[in-house]
Structure 1
Amino acid sequence: MVKIPAFEVEQWMDKYENTPGVLNIAETCASSISVRQLIQLNDQAGAPPPLGFSTRMTYGAIRGSEQLRRNIADTYADDGTSSAVSPDDIIVTQGAISANHLVFYSLVGPGDHVVCVFPTYQQLYSVPESLGAEVSLWELKAKNGFIPDVAELEMLVKVNTKMIVINNPNNPTGAIIPKAVLTQIIEVARKHDIIVFSDEVYRPLFHGLEAEDVPPSALSLGNSKVVVTSSTSKAWALAGIRVGWVASRDPTIIEQVAVARDYTTISVSQLDDQVARYALGASVRPHLLKRNMELARTNLGLLERFVKDHPSHCFWIKPTAGTTAFVQFLNGSEPVDDDAFCRDVLEKTKVMFVPGARCFGPRGEFKGFVRIGYVSETEVLQQALERLGSYIKEHMT
């Protein structure tokens, strides 16, 4: 049996997020919203509530209800950059974490080679490795604004490369892959007959970009051998309903995922499907996104001011999308030990964030970096940054 390594970021969150009095700026979801608040966002007078209590609790639609898949498909057209996606191109899953696992389980195995960007969510390189694939890590460098270098990708591709894995917008850096670079990646994949897997869970939270700079979904660039995943958790502030999805224009990929899914969840909860259907419907979706975009812009402004106020102790590439920032802390001229730093800050201030080298640097990269989830409640972020500023003044040179 293959031994899978500990999922460091999830282990860290599980261990510390319930610390009494914690100010959690490690969380990566936009500040969570309630069903009551969703109802208040609905601009359709007399709209029925999101839960139909007379609905019999069968397994429901195995691939997700038709209306939910239609609403998900509509999200790809909202920003005007992505071409139409059909409900038949979508399978609903229990969160993006299930969607990601299903993609790898369905498409990757022993003898395959996978190229994966990093830093990124550890699942995206640890799971294919656990399935017997060889994994090459494609490093995103701060000097390049954490934008991938396609020339380096070309050098990583092998004759048995089965999949290129990208994450757009990126966790933890908050950087995007611009359309021009994304197009080059798709062309490399097309030339070598490689599947492109794009984790787009932070899409469409492009709060720091002009409309013309928003990258399209990888689904929209003319190559059918593309599969993407996303969920209602991050950009849509609904982690609690555990709804994600896999989307691809390649019917063979969708059918392979469907077959694998029969061995796991069968279907998602009908209650979750109903809430997701409501939240992503045309009368709620734009207002929910507007709420989360405004929160992201407000809070990123607070974090930017903090970084500017501490130029000797903080380095970052300002994020342009998503909910996370990758900030390096320096003590004197040297990066801090980010693991020890995070523990000490938590102990002394109750401010929680995630160590970068431990959770995102599989070979010890990203020393001194921490991931900050800044799209929390504004008051929480304000208080956390005030305490962090006091910590720097008292404990760092």
Structure 2
Amino acid sequence: MVQIKDFAVEQWMDKYETTAKYNVAETCSASVSIRELQELSEDPASGPLDGLLDRKLTYGEIRGSERLRTTLANLYSVKTPSPLPPDNILITSGAIQANFLLLYTLTGPGDHVICHYPTYQQLYSVPESLGADVSLWKSKEADGWKLDLEELKALIRPNTKLIILNNPQNPTGAIIPQETLDEIVEIARSSSIYVFCDEVYRPPFHSISPMDKEFPSSTLSLGYERAIVTGSMSKAYSLAGIRVGWIASRDRSVIEACASARDYTTISVSQLDDAVASYALAPTTIHSLLKRNIELARNNVAILEKFIESHRWACDWVKPRAGTTAFVRFNKMGKPINDIAFCEMLQERTGVMFVPGSLCFGGGEDFHGYVRIGFACETQVLEEGLAKLKTFLEDDYEEVPAMKKRPA
């Protein structure tokens, strides 16, 4: 029987988010309603559900509507050597299903997988549960959460099948810069290794310009036939509630294998959800929606930065460059705090919700003292939450236990 570890971050969210007064743990850009989405459109006379009121609610187009897959294919075909065919995209129930299907399809006993770390637990726990041997390729906080390419080369084995990336990265908000991406692909190409990049936090690049030489393109645009990406409507597009994600690859056989595996799960995505996603990603809507979310992230990360700078006695960070999350380290007299106790006390006493790093991103072995903060919530929620955190740090922080040093 397959044994899989508890999904710590999702269990934490499930346990606490319904009772949080200030949810500063949520990783989605502040959600929008159908009405708000329509108001963002350059054609507000049209609606996301136009034409659906009289449509029979069958399974619909099993792999996702032609409209949605074509829209996504066009987005992935910008600045690429050749256009991506719509048939090279599979629509799924969120990126979480996309990731699972891909890992289920590609990895198993006898395979070796290299996974960018820290990252979303699914990306390494699922291949482990399927019998693959997983090596963590650890980014370095002291170097701005950068990856060492020499370490990647040293990790590769004869049976390495897959390199897993997360760009922009959850929880740190770091990016893998363009030059590094290019080199990863060349390393993978030399050994015919698949490169899979979870790009759900793309494209809210709030702290780096598209003109910057480090600005990363989608991994799918690098001209590598074994490149695979996943994405969703949740983080960048404020529509987590419609549960729409996708897998896209230059390798059509990967899409076919994932589609075959999905026959055993959800079969298809709701026609209603597909229609809303198609409307949001259409040229008449996507630019306004992304502008809203990038401006929100840029404004809110500045608010968070100001808070951290004024509380350096308690917390520190590497400022995120993209996405919606920050990984903030709290300490007392140079020692990391017990981040689990901190998050529990903070929510119980103030209603402010964070995610403890050692539990949800390190399995208790790494990242003591770190918390993940989701800063792309409504600005008022962030401001009020930080005000409560300020009071907690002034009045109750001394009660938070510090981690004891491990014996040498």
TM-score normalised per structure 2: 0.94
Shift of 1:82: 8.9
Shift of 1:81: 7.7
Tell me, what secondary structure is at the counterpart of 2:292? helix
1:213-252 mapped onto 2 (5 Å cutoff)? 213=212, 214-252=215-253
Shift of 1:74: 3.0
- The amino acid of 2:30's aligned partner reads S
Residue 366 of structure 2 corresponds to 365
For residues 210-230 of structure 1, give each alpha carbon's deviation from its aligned partner in whole angstroms, at most 9, with x where no partner exists: 112321111111211011101
For residues 291 and 11 of structure 2, the distance between their equivalents in structure 1, rounded to whole angstroms, comes to 32
Residue 118 of structure 1 corresponds to 117
Shift of 1:285: 0.6
Tell me, what secondary structure is at the counterpart of 2:211? helix
- The amino acid of 2:192's aligned partner reads D
For residues 385 and 17 of structure 1, the distance between their equivalents in structure 2, rounded to whole angstroms, comes to 17
For residues 279-331 of structure 1, give each alpha carbon's deviation from its aligned partner in whole angstroms, at most 9, with x where no partner exists: 11110110000110111011111100000011111110000100000000111
- The amino acid of 1:169's aligned partner reads P
Q: Within the alignment, does 1:53 sit opposite 2:53 as a pair?
A: yes
The 1:241–1:342 alpha-carbon spacing in structure 2 relative to 1, beyond 3 Å, is same
For residues 257 and 312 of structure 2, the distance between their equivalents in structure 1, rounded to whole angstroms, comes to 50
Shift of 1:362: 3.1
1:307-322 mapped onto 2 (5 Å cutoff)? 307-322=308-323
For residues 387 and 255 of structure 2, the distance between their equivalents in structure 1, rounded to whole angstroms, comes to 48
Shift of 1:381: 0.2
1:62-141 mapped onto 2 (5 Å cutoff)? 62-76=62-76, 84-141=83-140
Residue 290 of structure 1 corresponds to 291
Residue correspondences, number: 395
Residue 172 of structure 1 corresponds to 171
Shift of 1:48: 4.4
Residue 386 of structure 2 corresponds to 385
Tell me, what secondary structure is at the counterpart of 1:57? coil
Unaligned runs of 5+ in 2: 399-408
The 1:77–1:288 alpha-carbon spacing in structure 2 relative to 1, beyond 3 Å, is farther
For residues 206 and 268 of structure 2, the distance between their equivalents in structure 1, rounded to whole angstroms, comes to 33
Contact 1:41 1:284 in 2 (8 A): yes
- The amino acid of 1:258's aligned partner reads A
Q: Within the alignment, does 1:306 sit opposite 2:307 as a pair?
A: yes
Contact 2:38 2:44 in 1 (8 A): no
For residues 295 and 33 of structure 1, the distance between their equivalents in structure 2, rounded to whole angstroms, comes to 13
- The amino acid of 1:98's aligned partner reads Q
Contact 1:27 1:373 in 2 (8 A): yes
Contact 1:89 1:247 in 2 (8 A): yes
Residue 403 of structure 2 corresponds to none
Shift of 1:266: 1.1
- The amino acid of 2:240's aligned partner reads A
Tell me, what secondary structure is at the counterpart of 1:203? coil
Residue 329 of structure 1 corresponds to 330
- RMSD over aligned CA atoms reads 1.4
Shift of 1:394: 1.5
Shift of 1:396: 3.2
For residues 108 and 167 of structure 1, the distance between their equivalents in structure 2, rounded to whole angstroms, comes to 18
For residues 334 and 190 of structure 1, the distance between their equivalents in structure 2, rounded to whole angstroms, comes to 43
For residues 364 and 140 of structure 2, the distance between their equivalents in structure 1, rounded to whole angstroms, comes to 14
Contact 2:114 2:162 in 1 (8 A): yes
Same amino acid, percent of matched pairs: 54
For residues 98 and 209 of structure 1, the distance between their equivalents in structure 2, rounded to whole angstroms, comes to 30
- The amino acid of 2:229's aligned partner reads V
Higher deviation after alignment, 39-48 or 262-271: 39-48
Shift of 1:191: 1.0
For residues 114-150 of structure 1, give each alpha carbon's deviation from its aligned partner in whole angstroms, at most 9, with x where no partner exists: 0101110000000001111011111111012112111
Residue 17 of structure 1 corresponds to 17
Higher deviation after alignment, 145-154 or 89-98: 145-154
Contact 1:168 1:177 in 2 (8 A): yes
Higher deviation after alignment, 367-376 or 219-228: 219-228
- The amino acid of 1:329's aligned partner reads F
Q: Within the alignment, does 1:345 sit opposite 2:366 as a pair?
A: no
Unaligned runs of 5+ in 1: none
